[in-house]
Amino acid sequence: MSIATCHHLLVTGNADEAHRRGLRALAISESLGDLALSVTVNLYCGATCLCGGDFAHAEGHLATTVRLLEGDQQRERFGLHGLPAAIARSYLAWALAERGDFGEAVRHGRDGCGHRRRGTPCLQPGVRLVGTRHAARAAG
Q: Over the stretch 12-64, which tens digit does the pLDDT of each residue have?
A: 888 888 888 888 888 988 899 999 999 999 999 999 999 889 999 999 999 99
CA-nearest of 106, 129, 39 to 47 is 39
pTM of the model: 0.78
Q: How confident is the model at residue 123 (pLDDT cuts 50, 70, 90)?
A: very low
Each domain of the chain, given as residue ranges in start order, spans: 2-139
Ranking 8-12, 82-86, 130-134 by mean pLDDT, the lowest is 130-134
Write down the architecture of domain 2-139 according to CATH: Alpha Horseshoe (1.25)
